[in-house]
Structure 1
Amino acid sequence: MKKENIQDMEKWYSEDVGEILSKLQVTPEEGLFEEDAKIRLSEFGANVLPQAKRKSALVRFISHFNDILVYVLIVAAIVTAVFGYYIDTAVILLVAFVNASIGFFQESKAERAIENIKKMLSPKAQVIREGVRLEIDASTLTIGDIVILSPGDKVPADLRLIRAENLKIEESALTGESLPTNKKPDMLSTDTMLGDRKNMAFSSTSVRSGKGLGVVVAVGQDTEIGKINQLLSEVEKATTPLIRQTAQFGKFVSTVIIVVSVFIFAFGYFFRDYEKADLLLSVIGLAIAAIPEGLTAILSIILAIGVQTMAKKNAIVRSLPSVETLGSVSVICSDKTGTLTKNEMTVQTVQTREQVFEVTGTGYSPEGAITIDGKTPVNFRENVVMDTLINCFNVCNDSALGKDKDRHWNVKGDPTEGALITLYQKAVLIEHKNFPRISTVPFDSEYKYMATLIEWENDKNIILIKGAPDRLMSIADKELTQKGEQPFDKQFWEDKINELANKGQRIIGAAYKLVPRTVKEIHHEDIYNEANSEGIVFLGLAGMIDPPREEAIEAIEVCAKAGITVKMITGDHVETAKTIGRQMGIENSDKALQGKDLDHMTEEEFVSAANEYNIFARTSPEHKLRIVHALQSKGKICAMTGDGVNDAPALKQADVGVAMGIKGTDVTKDAAEIVLADDNFATIVSAVKEGRRVYDNLKKSILFILPTNGAESFLIMASIIFSTVKPLTPVQILWVNMITSVTISLALAFEKAEPGVMNRPPRSPKTPLLDAYFIWRICFLSVFIGGGSLFMNVVLLGYGVSEQLVRTVTLQTIVLAQAFHLFNSRNIRGFAFNKDFFGNKYVFIVCFVMMFLQLSVTYIPFMNSTFGTVPLALGDWKYPFIFGIIVFIVVEIEKAVMRQIDKIKAAK
């Protein structure tokens, strides 16, 4: 058996199992011989997933120095060291090291997703080899091995089923299907989608009930879980808009710094009488002044504060830039099961011959009621049919309800049966009686029903039957009404089934058969056989659905106002998907595409469909990944939510991957940037609002920080051009930059969200970090603060004030001017003194801290020697304070003028 001989046999589900066994040269009775197994293991490889290659921690840390602005800092450090300014060198290198450390410790850990996929694989497998049942390491499984499946087993490889006895397999993490799949070995058509391949058992899924026998047709990377692993490893994570913008900004600033520094050095060398060493040191000061070295730190701090805020709202952020990216999201692609819905089956409708009943409450919690028309509670004493129907659902049931360690209601057993028990507990029955079972016929996929024998009244026993409506209708000859048993009206019930199905509900029926008290054991033949086809009385139907989360419906409405499109991508059936979409309020939910529709599209058609449609059903992991990629190709910033392994590749591809924290798999969580601790779709909307607030505050910080760099740069350039005394030393410049960036500007991170932040459309990823107005404000303030400081500098020197004292006053002037400008920056266009003036206490705290630091650098002796400052007399402080007040007034006048210009533009 050669590997190339089975390359054309990937659609195992569409071939007869006998032919497959023949091609694989194996029989179910004997299985593989050990010698053949060894040869095939060598040919096909071990049943494991490839080991992901990871960079060492040292390499990843060093990579964070790969930034052009850091290169400029390092060159500056080398030059200052050569000239013996070791304190300057140490401070410069410390700044570069701190910035790299912040980036390293906040690095995304998404590669752990691949490691967690491996943990999902079964460690052992029950096989038949040489006619003997053995337990072997699952890693040694190979093509052609015969595998035995029992309840509780993890499927160890992809199997084509040979036999299935009431076999149900939980596949929700892989396919998105909310209910366990009933398996049977019958051959399927070639276009059968992944979630409908009932003759296959997939690696890492779990056997819920029944038994099965299958032949291994794929191992390791060739399994469906292996393909997801491969998709994950191939996805190259795109950088966030903020990272792209800051990278472009860094290149622009570094180019300007180099060009201006060279020009100023040349000007000073050829046209001014400077010593080379002094001139070079001044130019280094210029370069350091222009570099916003504190910007990286403050951006990280603002993002980190956003992370803490989101954590309080149950959104755990694993990658700092994702906080800001959320603010620019224009599309949210969401899995249905467990994300938009609860992943808890709930009975919503009960249908008897005379009436339809509505059931309130969602999930497995027994809180809720059964009503008529949503208002009148059911009187079970007057409605014997309903009483009998609900008792049937409860008695003919093998599952149980309970609470987990977090006090959440859950079901032990089949979700459908759990929903029926919840229905029973919501009912105010005539009598909640425990009916002991005499005999049971378990559910069988061939017969499609379960039956239970119990004692009844009037010296009779009763067989209660629960199962697929079509099967029960095919054997029923009567139906129960309030007036008693009547002839069965098949057309009536078919119409009711269609009504419920069109609502996206899964339907289950109930019936009974009275038998003599002497009957103590039942079999399928006792329920229905050709010789005795009478006695089955149809009771009614229950329609259930995996209900939408109420808070998610409200969240989708908020998304619509915020210009965010919600798309539902699910492995569930198309009618169910459309119904849920309508209930959720997703736009254009009446039209949907299935995975098989997408398979026949060209790439251009696929991209168009991904942008046009909002409901996608019966999708595979690859479909989800391609949809996200198609949206991104049109410039959309895309968030993807999900909880299953099948969602992981798409989550990693998305600009922001959002995993469910309670029901999400470890694989999904590690592929995502954000984990929702409460599995609540509405939390995403809160996170989007927080992301928009964070971005607004980032812009305010930039508007605040850059004028400092501009003012210092202008100050030094002007001093060289006009041949004045060097106004600030390089180490003083670094002090000013770090004080304004890491202390004063930190207060802006706590500013509240702007009014109407969720009523504006998403920000385009092409929006520049600095728009025309920002450039104007930065240039205006740079010249105003830098020119004003230089003028004061020259005046004081003209009065014979010492150079050290003038530099100390200049340092204080620039810092205090920025402190007053902080209040201007709290609102980009609005008036500083508004109703929220005292709403951010941190503004006043950082101003106090700033003054403490400025007093320290002025009056503490070792700080004087380190930074070249001298103590100031009380009268010397009037210059910085008066200038700071002037800056505040001038900026407020400028903002008022701009508001008037905005009104004129709006009027036009």
Structure 2
Amino acid sequence: MPIKISEFHNWHSMDAKKALTFTKSSHKGLDDKEAKKRLSSFGANILPHKKPISLWFIFFDQFATPLVYILLISSVVSLFFRHYTDSAIIMAAVVLNAAVGFFQEYKANDSLEKLRNFIVPTCLVVRNGKAELINSTELVSGDIIHIQNGKNIPADLRIIESEGLEVNESILTGESASRKKSAGKVHKGTTLSERSSMAFMGTVVVRGKGLGVVVATGGNTEIGKISGMVEDTDDAKTPLQSRLSHLSNQLGLATVAVCLLIFIAGIVLGDYDPFQIFISSVAVAVASVPEGMPIAVTVILTVGMQFILKKKALVRKLVATETLGSITAICTDKTGTLTEGKMHITNILFPDQKVDLVKGSFTHEEPELIFHALRIGLHCNDAVFEEGSEVGGWKVNGMPTDEAIMTAAVQANLNYAQEKTDFPLLSELQFDSDWKYMATVHQSKIKTKYIKSPFILFVKGAPEIVLSKSKSIIKNGRTKTATDKDRSDIRFEIEKLTGQGLRLVALASRALTEEEATKEPAVLAEDLVFIGLAVIKDPIRPEARETIKICQQAGIRPIIITGDYGRTAKAIAAEVGLKVKDNEIVEGSRLEELDDEELKHLVKKVCIFARVSPGHKLRIINALRANKESVAMVGDGVNDAPAIKAADIGIALGSGTDVAKETSDIILLDNNFSTIVAAIEQGRVIFSNIRKVITYLISDIFSEMILVTGSIIFGMPLAILPAQILWLNIVNDGFPNFALAFEKGDENIMKAKPIAANEPILNAKMKAIIFGLGLVRDTAIFILFIWLYNEGREIDVVRTTIFAILGVKSLFSLFSLRNLETPLWRMNPFSNKYILMAISLSLGLIVSVIYWRPLGNLLSTVPLPLESWYFILGIGIANIAALEAIKSIFNRRNGKE
């Protein structure tokens, strides 16, 4: 029986024949009996994955917060004492909140299921000595696989035969450049990305063909190990969850303390029946529970989630929308995130000038030379041109370099079909890592300025190799013998550009006679005319530079984590506006030498981590979070998945792998990096709106607690009844809370620093509004209650007046609380129509419960005389003035006025 990959990890350093021996296989493959036996022993070739989350789990998970626990306990206590209306209202609030949260998370998970795109399920395998097509899930260790161009690798393979084989391993390494593969063994300590003798599950063949023996399947493959790392990574608790949990605990403790105080005070200070005192304590508990808060927070998150979706980002987890606003560091791979993830020719460097293809500068004084260079690249090319398969009428498939060159040629209006007719292929020498160039011989049916012979040789390859085979160059439109200085100048450019992390391909040609055209291309590839260098790169996304700039203004630190070389990452960083010093670049080999404590200190100053493995990425994220950073991880490959899951916010590109998307909190449907900025801005708006709602709600709670507690301590009738409190909580808190969700936020919100993850949700300004202003205002309201009651007015009239005062002053305060940074007179009163609608509707319901007897009888309210409204409106206006004064004091202190 072959050994398991978990027991042996050095297939890459083992001779190909020895690998066949270890797997007890041969070029004839396994027979069906042995294959079934191994399948039974090792299991199907399936990646480990979690079972889909059940609908019941999603629903009941909405109840798993301390705030909801307080609400449920209050509902049960109210029911026990036969306060059926109170109990029903609280329970309705809890269920409604759960329903909204359930619907949003279910919809997000359902959308993700529709995005799924799994690995091709079939492969060509040698069984019983002949090739047959089987389901890739049936592969076992020892199977011999035909590796074909354009196909996915179905399992981890040890290469045993190779013909020009190249594989794109970006799914594992994050790098778009293809990797050459051969049967030769490599050193035992070779990194994953350099193991040329291996082909890994999920990677894609872009060139050539070969044979490989399966050495690992399913969870034992490299991609399977990463999936296992994802499974072992705990979901991070978001800052919002932590803050709300802390706030709920504080409210719960405060409620218990106040209720005990009331109960003891009632027994000690007054001649009260213990049962009645307990009922009064329940009234305080009802007053202190913000039953509207869970719904309000959920609505704000939902509105933000929908806004982000309009910007082409799918939020999979509701609380993730707010967490974006707390992000202090964004870790991103450069390929496919900062860059487009696809190679392009940006320039052609001729011996006497440089042509910028990106800007379309085809006004070159020698346009024929540009077309000649691109013509060489088009014909000396293994990419496949497919007409009519894409929007625009064509598509190119092949290895990245070939794709880039052929695409540039077609975009320059070289007609592919006509070119193949005008220059039919006679013979070719395929590219190989031994000779590092490709050569093709063509008949020339047309004449151009640079093609005057009946036959032509085109050469494309490594710059130094092609230059060494060249005798001439073209300058000023004329062919001349290359001097030592010419060669030195070209070598200088080669060194300079490769030092910037750019890929270079040299282009050359040679006129042939009919007799010469019959010879082998390898023989003819001498005395070439060196045409120029095609500069190839994975260009940065157009919006990336502005995105990085906004992030820096917002106090967010961009960190590049890549499997590529440090110098390449540094060049990309410079293009997007990141100035990185050499001592701010660390490679994976150094990370291996550091323990977790040392890494914690290192990540504080490093901007680029290069040549890293998936395990390194996970350690980096954990180190940043250990430093109290709120971290977003952006990625698209399987190699990014563990770090995506470990981050505070995991962001996957829509074109990324299923594993990356499944572990993410947010998916960028359009792969647009600027969408992250829009999402972060909305996250800050969400947090700001949550703070406004909490300030509004707790201000109301504080008022109600002061009045009820004061009534009991001073031996007075309750200033407001529990049913009236619940009515205010529904009417005053419900509609305005929803309206605050649509506030757009302060215009300078992306110029402020991120909110620290450990910062309490109530800041100094909010505490001053809630407790400072609240204590003065609510004491004054309680004194008014005592005065009105001692004046001999009916208790129902006095309670109704207090009821109206609490309702109106809260609604009036909305005008000021809409923006805690901007004075009321600078706000546009019509910028949020929902606020005006909510205030009008809530005022209408308050008035209706006072003057419409069916509701009035239910809540023990009575019609008020006109003079009562003087008190009501006066306190409402005075409250606004006091709010604005507090805002002004804090804004001046913070330099915002």
- The counterpart of 1:660, out of the listed 653, 656, 660, is 653
The residue type equivalent to 2:301 in the other structure is L
The correspondence of residues 621-660 of structure 1 with structure 2, limited to 5 A, is 621-660=614-653
Q: 1:311 to 1:433 in 2, by over 3 A?
A: same
* Partners of 2:494 and 2:204 in 1: CA distance: 31
The residue type equivalent to 2:683 in the other structure is G
Give the CA deviation at 1:230: 0.7
Q: Normalized against structure 2, the TM-score is what?
A: 0.91
Q: Does 1:464 find its partner at 2:464?
A: no
Q: Does 1:152 find its partner at 2:157?
A: no
Q: 1:9 to 1:84 in 2, by over 3 A?
A: closer
2:752 corresponding residue in structure 1: 760
2:577 corresponding residue in structure 1: 585
- The counterpart of 2:708, out of the listed 685, 706, 716, is 716
Q: Does 1:421 find its partner at 2:406?
A: yes
2:356 corresponding residue in structure 1: 358
The residue type equivalent to 1:17 in the other structure is A
* Partners of 1:39 and 1:318 in 2: CA distance: 41
- The counterpart of 1:390, out of the listed 351, 374, 378, is 374
Q: C-alpha offsets along residues 139-173 of structure 1, whole Å, 9 cap, x if unaligned?
A: 22211211112233221100011111222323222
Q: 1:455 to 1:900 in 2, by over 3 A?
A: closer
Give the CA deviation at 1:428: 8.5
Give the CA deviation at 1:542: 0.6
Q: Does 1:504 find its partner at 2:501?
A: yes
Give the CA deviation at 1:718: 0.5
Q: Does 1:452 find its partner at 2:436?
A: no
2:229 corresponding residue in structure 1: 231
1:325 corresponding residue in structure 2: 323
Note if contact 1:401-1:418 (Cα within 8 Å) is conserved in structure 2.
Answer: no
2:189 corresponding residue in structure 1: 191
Q: 1:453 to 1:139 in 2, by over 3 A?
A: same
* Partners of 1:149 and 1:630 in 2: CA distance: 40
2:9 corresponding residue in structure 1: 10
1:213 corresponding residue in structure 2: 211
| Most deviating of 331-340 and 608-617 | 608-617
In structure 2, the gaps of 5 or more residues are none
Give the CA deviation at 1:773: 3.8
The residue type equivalent to 2:426 in the other structure is S
Q: C-alpha offsets along residues 188-209 of structure 1, whole Å, 9 cap, x if unaligned?
A: 2233322222221111222233
Q: Does 1:565 find its partner at 2:557?
A: yes
Give the CA deviation at 1:218: 0.9
Q: 1:287 to 1:754 in 2, by over 3 A?
A: same
* Partners of 1:726 and 1:835 in 2: CA distance: 38
Give the CA deviation at 1:715: 0.5
| Most deviating of 17-26 and 448-457 | 448-457
Q: C-alpha offsets along residues 423-465 of structure 1, whole Å, 9 cap, x if unaligned?
A: 3356599999632423352633344433333333555211212
* Partners of 1:247 and 1:697 in 2: CA distance: 18
Give the CA deviation at 1:338: 1.4
| Most deviating of 165-174 and 250-259 | 165-174
Secondary structure at the aligned position of 2:430 is classed as strand
Secondary structure at the aligned position of 1:46 is classed as coil
2:589 corresponding residue in structure 1: 596
Give the CA deviation at 1:59: 4.1
Q: 1:486 to 1:886 in 2, by over 3 A?
A: same
| Most deviating of 544-553 and 475-484 | 475-484
Note if contact 2:631-2:647 (Cα within 8 Å) is conserved in structure 1.
Answer: yes
Note if contact 2:347-2:358 (Cα within 8 Å) is conserved in structure 1.
Answer: no
* Partners of 1:431 and 1:220 in 2: CA distance: 42
| Most deviating of 761-770 and 892-901 | 892-901
Q: 1:14 to 1:431 in 2, by over 3 A?
A: closer
* Partners of 1:22 and 1:781 in 2: CA distance: 82
* Partners of 1:65 and 1:690 in 2: CA distance: 25
Note if contact 1:113-1:667 (Cα within 8 Å) is conserved in structure 2.
Answer: no
Q: 1:110 to 1:597 in 2, by over 3 A?
A: farther
Give the CA deviation at 1:500: 1.8
Q: 1:452 to 1:292 in 2, by over 3 A?
A: same
* Partners of 1:268 and 1:39 in 2: CA distance: 79
Q: 1:555 to 1:895 in 2, by over 3 A?
A: closer
* Partners of 1:186 and 1:479 in 2: CA distance: 38
Q: C-alpha offsets along residues 770-825 of structure 1, whole Å, 9 cap, x if unaligned?
A: 23443232113333343333333333434444433333332221010111222232
The residue type equivalent to 2:637 in the other structure is G
* Partners of 1:693 and 1:857 in 2: CA distance: 35
1:378 corresponding residue in structure 2: 364
The correspondence of residues 69-218 of structure 1 with structure 2, limited to 5 A, is 69-107=67-105, 120-218=118-216
* Partners of 1:898 and 1:604 in 2: CA distance: 39
Q: Does 1:614 find its partner at 2:607?
A: yes
1:373 corresponding residue in structure 2: none
Give the CA deviation at 1:565: 1.1
Q: How well do the aligned residues superpose, as a CA RMSD in angstroms?
A: 3.2
* Partners of 1:404 and 1:715 in 2: CA distance: 73
Number of aligned positions between the proteins: 883
| Most deviating of 93-102 and 551-560 | 93-102
Give the CA deviation at 1:713: 0.5
The residue type equivalent to 1:445 in the other structure is D
Secondary structure at the aligned position of 1:327 is classed as helix
Note if contact 1:60-1:104 (Cα within 8 Å) is conserved in structure 2.
Answer: yes
The residue type equivalent to 1:455 in the other structure is Q
* Partners of 2:416 and 2:121 in 1: CA distance: 48
The residue type equivalent to 2:733 in the other structure is S
* Partners of 1:637 and 1:108 in 2: CA distance: 26
Give the CA deviation at 1:476: 3.7
Q: C-alpha offsets along residues 342-369 of structure 1, whole Å, 9 cap, x if unaligned?
A: 12322222222333333334xxxxxx22
- The counterpart of 1:809, out of the listed 801, 806, 821, is 801
Q: 1:726 to 1:198 in 2, by over 3 A?
A: same
Q: Does 1:494 find its partner at 2:491?
A: yes
Note if contact 1:315-1:675 (Cα within 8 Å) is conserved in structure 2.
Answer: yes
2:300 corresponding residue in structure 1: 302
The residue type equivalent to 1:461 in the other structure is F
Give the CA deviation at 1:235: 1.3
| Most deviating of 774-783 and 649-658 | 774-783
In structure 1, the gaps of 5 or more residues are 362-367, 371-376
| Most deviating of 883-892 and 750-759 | 750-759
* Partners of 1:37 and 1:117 in 2: CA distance: 33
The residue type equivalent to 1:816 in the other structure is V
Secondary structure at the aligned position of 2:861 is classed as coil
Note if contact 2:292-2:730 (Cα within 8 Å) is conserved in structure 1.
Answer: yes
1:880 corresponding residue in structure 2: 872
1:698 corresponding residue in structure 2: 690
Note if contact 1:113-1:666 (Cα within 8 Å) is conserved in structure 2.
Answer: no
2:424 corresponding residue in structure 1: 437
- The counterpart of 2:833, out of the listed 838, 841, 847, is 841
Give the CA deviation at 1:378: 0.6
Secondary structure at the aligned position of 1:528 is classed as helix
* Partners of 1:425 and 1:117 in 2: CA distance: 32
| Most deviating of 255-264 and 667-676 | 667-676
Give the CA deviation at 1:108: 8.3
| Most deviating of 303-312 and 833-842 | 833-842
* Partners of 1:723 and 1:431 in 2: CA distance: 95
The correspondence of residues 277-292 of structure 1 with structure 2, limited to 5 A, is 277-292=275-290
* Partners of 2:829 and 2:659 in 1: CA distance: 46
| Most deviating of 616-625 and 440-449 | 440-449
The correspondence of residues 47-62 of structure 1 with structure 2, limited to 5 A, is 47-53=45-51, 56-62=54-60
Secondary structure at the aligned position of 1:237 is classed as coil
* Partners of 1:849 and 1:407 in 2: CA distance: 54
Secondary structure at the aligned position of 1:344 is classed as coil
The residue type equivalent to 1:226 in the other structure is G
Give the CA deviation at 1:285: 1.2
1:244 corresponding residue in structure 2: 242
1:365 corresponding residue in structure 2: none
1:892 corresponding residue in structure 2: 884
Note if contact 2:262-2:709 (Cα within 8 Å) is conserved in structure 1.
Answer: yes
